[in-house]
Structure 1
């Protein structure tokens, strides 16, 4: 389907995770190990934050990530304390720049791996659920962008996890009205530059892969001479579709139906329940 990652920590070159890691995102675009599709070549995008006062920057392209020479220069030039990156394998919608992640609204960036099943059948009803004030911001034709705008409609800027739950419930209930079996499969990430909110959920309880980094502080004690750990800092955090490097103790799988919130050096896991009262 797709692969994505989100990073927060010391400012580092985007190149470190997009190109230099053993199983970098560029490597995953050609040789994904845990994805439903080995190749993810239907476009890519990166979004990053500079100073706290700035809105996020974004670079997207519809061509494969591995063949874009401008991406390598961009990834080498940009140092950022927080960024997201995404490589796309298209499902029901075409390969075009406006369908590439991350999607952006104000300070928020959003990426998704998975699908809304039978999306052409339910698209109209899903789009009618979007706040009219947000509707004009639709640029592309993908289910992921609609999911993002629905999450914003349901309060992403106020209660991020609850808003993602409400979005998931709306998608499932809409699909069920149309007779769609197992309407939703998703790993999603939303960030406003201060917090990373990620969730793993699917109607059939067989979600796409998702991992997060464990305590970097502890790993720095175990591997004091590893320059990769020193570069990202003691409070660094990564959440991603599949691990970048094979380092024992670095990665932990996000369980099914769980949301992860990383903010101010703290990582909190919560049950992700779209049908909570």
Structure 2
């Protein structure tokens, strides 16, 4: 089961507003889920899609690591900002493919989805 968080607003926010900053950030629910019925933690990948100001196409950053283990994400997330973003942490379902291409959100033709 994957965990998702999104933001759409007039005020740009740093990507860390979804990943790290709030008490129920994706990082927090990835390793301490309160209501997860199946699985234990979301450690099979992290990705975030966002629309930088002035661009019609989203940018995607994906890693096979959980948010707290990626050495680049902690430095990028506080300085990259957007008024539209979607992020996810993955807990791979047994039997389904495992790899960077299977970590949501996915982007294509100006759209991001999970």
Secondary structure at the aligned position of 2:20 is classed as helix
Instruction: Tell me the equivalent position of 1:101.
Output: 104
Secondary structure at the aligned position of 2:18 is classed as helix
For 1:211-242, what per-residue CA distance to the aligned partner results, in whole angstroms no more than 9, with x for missing partners? xxxxxxxxxxxxxxxxxxxxxxxxxxxxxxxx
Instruction: Tell me the equivalent position of 1:43.
Output: 45
Take 2:84 and 2:36, find their aligned partners in 1: how far apart are those partners? 24
The structure whose RCO (Cα within 8 Å, separation 6+) is larger is: 2
Take 1:54 and 1:13, find their aligned partners in 2: how far apart are those partners? 18
Alpha-carbon distance, 1:52 to partner: 4.7
Larger radius of gyration: 1
Unaligned 5+ residue runs, structure 2?
A: none
Q: How many residues align?
A: 111
Alpha-carbon distance, 1:26 to partner: 0.3
| Runs ≥4 residues deviating over 4 A | none
Contact kept in structure 2, 1:29 and 1:66, CA below 8 Å:
no
Secondary structure at the aligned position of 1:95 is classed as coil
Unaligned 5+ residue runs, structure 1?
A: 112-277
Higher helix share: 1
Give the TM-score taking structure 1 as reference length: 0.38
RMSD value over aligned CA atoms? 1.3
Instruction: Tell me the equivalent position of 2:3.
Output: 3
